[in-house]
Structures are given as structure tokens and as C-alpha cells.
């Protein structure tokens, strides 16, 4: 899974990158605005991609003065699958959240952090996951839960999952870990409350 280019799973072309941007908004865009969001490619390349997508009907265009405005056609038969592909990262977070709800011993707190949380993950990136384990959870059952989730995250994304575990009792002694500052600043909570973690590590 490439969080930066979610449609690359089916097409590595610029067309997929343009669709990923357009599909996440109901707004219209000029080629210049799209170029600012996709600075790694040329504006001429974007213009050619838009012509191809308009020919397919998945992108609609309208003239506005001397410019053209483009928007995603949500009525197109292919709109649903494209939206699902564009929303892969959000779907991953939802799946992790739902899976954690089924655990007999759920974490007191869990968050995805690192490049996947920031939307910069590529196909070789890990899915970094903080898990704060209840002190009374049996080792064998907890380890089995984590192993099952790790396997499933890899199946869902193609990326390796990297769970980092702490027990509740560990938190006060390890509150200076840089990881906690990163999670609190940029992590995406998938179980529990961020305020709980803040209190446990004495963060402001």
C-alpha cells in the first residue's frame, strides 16, 4: 500500500494520482491547482491526464473564462471503486479499530503512528502501531491477539506491521520515550483515549 499514491495499486500512471486528488473533494480544480498538489509532475502532464479522464467520463470539465475547471464525476459507474482505493488508509484505520474491539483483552490505548499516520508511507514502509497492554492480560492470549493482527495488517496492505508494546505499568517509568511524543503529536488513535495516555505519561 502506497499512502501517497493509493491508486498505484491498480495503475502507476499520473491518471491515478489525479483521480486520487479529485476524488477526495467535491470542489473543482484548475490544472494549476492540481499541479500545486502534485508538484512532482509537470502541469502539461496533468493536462494530458485530465483529457484522458474526461474522455472516460470519470472527470467532468467546464469552461470558466479562459480556464477549465475539473471535478470528479461521482455518478460514474467506476466512482465507487475509485473512492474505495483512494480511501485505503482510512479503511485500514477502521479495520484495525474494529479488530481491536473484538479482543478479549483489548489495549488500554492504541495508535497508528509514523509514516502511515502522516500519509507518507510507501510500499516498503512499516505500519507502526503502539499498543498499551492491560497489566492483567495473560501473556499467551495477548501475544496471540497481537500476532493475528500483525498478520492481518500485512494481508490488508502488503506492508509489514510493526507493533510496539508497553504495559500500563511500564508507562510511568518510560514516559521520556520519544515515541510517546510522536504518538501524541501525530498518531492516529484506534483504541482508547489520547487524554488517558497523556495523563499516564504526565504529558501537557
The pLDDT > 70 percentage for the chain reads 99
For CA atoms 97, 101, 105, 107, give the dihedral sign. Answer: positive
Structurally, what CATH architecture does the domain formed by 6-85 represent?
Orthogonal Bundle (1.10)
Residue 21 has pLDDT above 80, yes or no: yes
Which SS3 state, helix, strand or coil, does residue 70 take?
Answer: strand
Q: Identify the H or E element spanning 33.
A: helix 31-37
Residue 203, pLDDT score: 62
CA dist., res. 155 & res. 188, Å (int): 20
CA dist., res. 34 & res. 43, Å (int): 8
Specify the CATH number for 88-201; select among 3.30.1370.60, 3.30.460.10, 3.50.50.60, 1.10.1040.50.
3.30.460.10
Residue 173, pLDDT score: 81
- All three cell numbers of 152, joined, read 492481518
Residue 204, pLDDT score: 55
What's the pLDDT tens digit per position in 24-36? 999 999 999 999 9
Strand ranges inside 73-178, DSSP E: 109-113, 127-133, 161-167
What's the pLDDT tens digit per position in 46-59? 999 999 999 999 99
Mean pLDDT of all residues in 71-88: 97
What's the pLDDT tens digit per position in 118-138? 999 999 999 999 999 999 999
Q: Identify the H or E element spanning 84.
A: helix 79-86
Q: Would you list the domain boundaries of the chain?
A: 6-85, 88-201
Which SS3 state, helix, strand or coil, does residue 9 take?
Answer: helix
Residue 66, pLDDT score: 86
- All three cell numbers of 97, joined, read 479499530
- All three cell numbers of 78, joined, read 467506476
**pTM listed for this prediction:** 0.89
What's the pLDDT tens digit per position in 111-120? 999 999 999 9
Per-chain mean pLDDT for the chain: 95
Amino acid at each position: 500500500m502506497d499512502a501517497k499514491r493509493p491508486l498505484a495499486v491498480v495503475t502507476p500512471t499520473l491518471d491515478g494520482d489525479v483521480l486520487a486528488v479529485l476524488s477526495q473533494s467535491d470542489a473543482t480544480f484548475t490544472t494549476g491547482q492540481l499541479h500545486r498538489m502534485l508538484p512532482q509532475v509537470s502541469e502539461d502532464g496533468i493536462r494530458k491526464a485530465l483529457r484522458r479522464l474526461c474522455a472516460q467520463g470519470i472527470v467532468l470539465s467546464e469552461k470558466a473564462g479562459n480556464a477549465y475547471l475539473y471535478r470528479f464525476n461521482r455518478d460514474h459507474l467506476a466512482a465507487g471503486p475509485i473512492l474505495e482505493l483512494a480511501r485505503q488508509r482510512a479503511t485500514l484505520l477502521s479495520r484495525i479499530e474494529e479488530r481491536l474491539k473484538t479482543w478479549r483483552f483489548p489495549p488500554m490505548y492504541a495508535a497508528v503512528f509514523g509514516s502511515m499516520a502522516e500519509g507518507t508511507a510507501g510500499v516498503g514502509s512499516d505500519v507502526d502501531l503502539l499498543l498499551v497492554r492491560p497489566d492483567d492480560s495473560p501473556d499467551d492470549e495477548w501475544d496471540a491477539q497481537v500476532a493475528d493482527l500483525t498478520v492481518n495488517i500485512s494481508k490488508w496492505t502488503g506492508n509489514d506491521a510493526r507493533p510496539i508494546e508497553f504495559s500500563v505499568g511500564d508507562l510511568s517509568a518510560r514516559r521520556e520515550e520519544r515515541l510517546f511524543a510522536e504518538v501524541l503529536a501525530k498518531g492516529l488513535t484506534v483504541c482508547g483515549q489520547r487524554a488517558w495516555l497523556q495523563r499516564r505519561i504526565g504529558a501537557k
